[in-house]
Amino acid sequence: MVWNMVGEIRKRIESYVKVEGFDLGFEDGSPGDENGAHAVVHVVPRTPGVHLRLPRGIEWVDFSK
Q: By the 8 A CB rule, do 58 and 27 touch?
A: yes
pLDDT in tens, 16-46: 999 988 888 888 776 666 766 778 888 989 8
The residue-averaged pLDDT of 1-10 equals: 90
For residue 37, give Cα distances in angstroms to 5, 12, 41, 47, 56. Answer: 20, 28, 14, 32, 20
pTM for the model stands at 0.69
DSSP annotation of 50:
-
DSSP H or E segment with residue 14: helix 2-16
